[in-house]
Amino acid sequence: MTTSPDLEEIARRFRRVAPPIEQCTIRIVEESSTTTSVRRDVPEPVARSIDRGAMVTAVDGDGVGYAATSDLSEAGLRAAAERAIQWARCSRGRSVFAEAPPRLSRPGGRFHNGVVSEPDWTPAERIELLREESAQCRLDDRIVDWQASLWTIRSRQLLAADGGDQIFQQHEYAVPSLHVVASNGELTQVRSWGGRYNGLCQQGTARQVAQRSGFGGAGRRTAEQALQLLSAPNCPSGTFDVLLMPDQMMLQIHESIGHPLELDRILGDERNYAGTSFVTPEMFGSYQYGSQLLNVTYDPTLAEEFATFAYDDEGSRAQRHHLIRDGILLQPLGGALSRRRLAQAGWDGFVATARASSWNRPPIDRMSNLNLEPGSATLEQMVSSIDDGILMQTNASWSIDDSRNKFQFGCEWGQRIRSGQLAEVVRNPNYRGISATFWRSLAMVGDASTVEVLGSPFCGKGEPNQLIRVGHASPACKFSAAAVFGAER
């Protein structure tokens, strides 16, 4: 049962032309998006987009082939099916799947509707909201650039097998953002609300997400902080305890836990592009990834989180799993296919997170919602426990090696902590470390009151390349003795 008559009609067309082979599926995706933006108080052109197409996947022996097309007519789908079969035959006997011929999961007849829709803002209403925030940014002439924007997406997807089973999923996403640039001629500082690269992204309508996240009034606060940074001293260099706020923690989790745990990296698929991993299969079940305070879950169940879904793009049912419990690494991020490829699997089950960025790319292992579970410390307790340290907020720079080990991250906002008290603001705070040891320095984990639900629309990997939505919920966390440094001037 689904609620998508037009997509179902496409699936019926596909079934009429699907070839009589072992297995043939179609994944139909439609995404409608609207981007509204106001820069320096001037509305940018509203941009609408409707992106619709389908990918046919065929299996022939140990050969798998795909063909994606934006031509959803019967002739277009027939051509795609024939091309997918050609590829399946071409890869038969040449596949990297040596002993375990892959079989696509047969979807069950269920559907999941992510968010209950409601009337959303019109383009004119969106512009008005953004204009109000933009107008609040221009505090004085040192504010040289500023922009407020709102990006919304409505996604519908139908995964259908030739035999009649199908899964329909519908989601709505909203990504409000705002950033301000302040310059005094000598220095330039950027302060953003939610991160310069859309860290505040959630499921829901524009109205729901903007209200939930406190977008109203963000303009003035952000501009004030940009000016504060302009007159702030440079972040000191040295070894300090650091208190990372959720909008930096999300990046720390993403880069140095999420990517290293992706099973396709561990299996070597990504070595020519996104990289490999310092994590090896033998580590699962025993490796001390972090301190005992570290608990990390793959959680596709939080309604508002950006990558919540019911089924992955292989048709596997998505459920919450602990990946790291009490600091011990338990299992990787990999779909059913990757799980099957790893002969020496030493853990139970798999994490349903094989996903494609759209209809024109095949599914690969992604991190989806990857969360750090809250601990028991209040923010005040964490601050008061630090004698000489730095609070860092909002990621601005990120770089990590291809094994996901040596990292260097920078933030927009820093604040000294002296004798257990928050002290002066510092600009350009950066820190560097090594994943394999950094998480063991996790000294305190914030309680639920410090958790923020964030994410990214732009997690990139794969060949051909794919950008995908991921979610990260995290509390604030304290790390001991990190290598910290600031800017050149």
Partner 1 sequence: MKERFFELADYANGQLRGTETLLATFCGETSDFVRFNRARVRQAGSVAQAWLRLTLIDQGRRLNSSLTVAFDRTGDHAAIADAIQTLRSDLATVPPDPLLLYATDVVSSNLERSGRLPEAEEAVDCVIAAAAGADLVGIFASGPVYRGFANSLGQRNWHRVDSFQLDWSVYLGGDKAVKSTFASETWSAQEVTRRIRSAREELGFLAASPRAIEPGQYRAFLAPAAVDELIGMLNWDGVSARSQRTRQSALQKLVDAEATLSPMVTLRENTAEGLGPSFDDSGFPRPPRVALIDGGRHAGALVSARTAKEYDIAPNGANEEESMQSADLDGGSLPMAEALAALDKGILVGNLWYLNYSDRASGRITGMTRFATFWVEGGRIVAPLNVMRFDDSIYRMLGSELKALTREREWIQSRSTYGQRSVESTRVPGALLSSLTLTL
DSSP-derived letter for residue 439 is G
Q: How many CB atoms lie within 10 A of CB 303?
A: 12
- Concatenated DSSP letters of 44-88: PPPEEEEEEEEEEEEEETTEEEEEEES--SHHHHHHHHHHHHHHH
Which of the stretches 71-79, 152-160, 300-308, 379-387 binds partner 1 when contact is defined by CB under 8 A? 71-79
The distance of closest approach from Cβ of residue 228 to partner 1 in the complex, given in angstroms and rounded to an integer, is 17
165 counts as binding partner 1 under rule CB under 8 A: no
**Contact yes or no for 156/4 (Cβ under 8 A):** yes
User: Which of positions 342-361 make contact with partner 1 (CB under 8 A)?
Assistant: 358, 360-361
Nearer to partner 1 among residue 190 and residue 302 (C-beta): 190
The distance of closest approach from Cβ of residue 362 to partner 1 in the complex, given in angstroms and rounded to an integer, is 5
User: Which of positions 215-274 make contact with partner 1 (CB under 8 A)?
Assistant: 267-269, 271-273
CA dihedral 346, 348, 339, 278 (to 10 degrees): -50
The backbone region for 268, taken as left when phi is positive above 0, alpha when psi lies in -120 to 50, beta otherwise, is left
Nearer to partner 1 among residue 170 and residue 357 (C-beta): 357
CA pair distance 34, 85, nearest whole angstrom: 36
Within 13 Å and on the Cβ side, how many CA atoms surround 421?
3
Which of the stretches 3-11, 75-83, 198-206, 436-444 binds partner 1 when contact is defined by CB under 8 A? 75-83
Which of the stretches 148-156, 164-172, 322-330, 392-400 binds partner 1 when contact is defined by CB under 8 A? 392-400
The distance of closest approach from Cβ of residue 63 to partner 1 in the complex, given in angstroms and rounded to an integer, is 8
Nearer to partner 1 among residue 78 and residue 321 (C-beta): 78
Nearer to partner 1 among residue 299 and residue 412 (C-beta): 412
User: Which of positions 49-68 make contact with partner 1 (CB under 8 A)?
Assistant: 49-53, 55, 64-68
Nearer to partner 1 among residue 295 and residue 353 (C-beta): 353
With H, G, I as helix, E, B as strand and everything else as coil, classify residue 132: helix
Nearer to partner 1 among residue 287 and residue 485 (C-beta): 485
Which of the stretches 177-185, 237-245, 344-352, 415-423 binds partner 1 when contact is defined by CB under 8 A? 177-185
Q: How many CB atoms lie within 10 A of CB 403?
A: 17
Q: Which of 177, 394, 430, 474 binds partner 1 (CB under 8 A)?
A: 430
Cis peptide before 45 (omega within 30 of 0): no
The distance of closest approach from Cβ of residue 4 to partner 1 in the complex, given in angstroms and rounded to an integer, is 17
337 CB contacts (<8 Å, ≥6 apart)? 102, 314, 354
How far apart, in Å, are the Cα atoms of 120 and each of 43, 47, 209, 233?
A: 19, 16, 11, 43
Q: Which of 21, 187, 422, 423 binds partner 1 (CB under 8 A)?
A: 187
Nearer to partner 1 among residue 267 and residue 293 (C-beta): 267
What residue has token string 């310069």? 196
User: Which of positions 98-157 make contact with partner 1 (CB under 8 A)?
Assistant: 98, 122-124, 127, 144-145
406 counts as binding partner 1 under rule CB under 8 A: yes
Query: What residue type is 373 in one-letter code?
Result: E
Binding residues for partner 1, rule CB under 8 A, total 82
DSSP-derived letter for residue 377 is B
Nearest to 241 by CA among 442, 397, 446: 442
Nearer to partner 1 among residue 64 and residue 382 (C-beta): 64
CA pair distance 474, 296, nearest whole angstrom: 9
CA pair distance 336, 356, nearest whole angstrom: 14
The distance of closest approach from Cβ of residue 195 to partner 1 in the complex, given in angstroms and rounded to an integer, is 14
Q: Which of 86, 288, 301, 480 binds partner 1 (CB under 8 A)?
A: 86
Q: How many CB atoms lie within 10 A of CB 122?
A: 10
Nearer to partner 1 among residue 229 and residue 310 (C-beta): 229
DSSP-derived letter for residue 254 is I
CA pair distance 294, 436, nearest whole angstrom: 13
Site string for partner 1, 8-47 (x = CB under 8 A): ----------------------------------xx-xxx
Nearer to partner 1 among residue 5 and residue 185 (C-beta): 185
Nearer to partner 1 among residue 36 and residue 295 (C-beta): 36
Nearer to partner 1 among residue 164 and residue 458 (C-beta): 458
Q: Which of 9, 421, 460, 481 binds partner 1 (CB under 8 A)?
A: 460
What residue has token string 């407020």? 148
What residue has token string 């709102």? 150
E strand map for 196-342 = 202-203, 238-244, 296-298, 321-325, 328-329
Q: Which of 3, 6, 9, 48 binds partner 1 (CB under 8 A)?
A: 48
With H, G, I as helix, E, B as strand and everything else as coil, classify residue 435: helix
Site string for partner 1, 466-485 (x = CB under 8 A): xx------------------
User: Which of positions 281-340 make contact with partner 1 (CB under 8 A)?
Assistant: none
Q: Which of 276, 297, 393, 474 binds partner 1 (CB under 8 A)?
A: 276
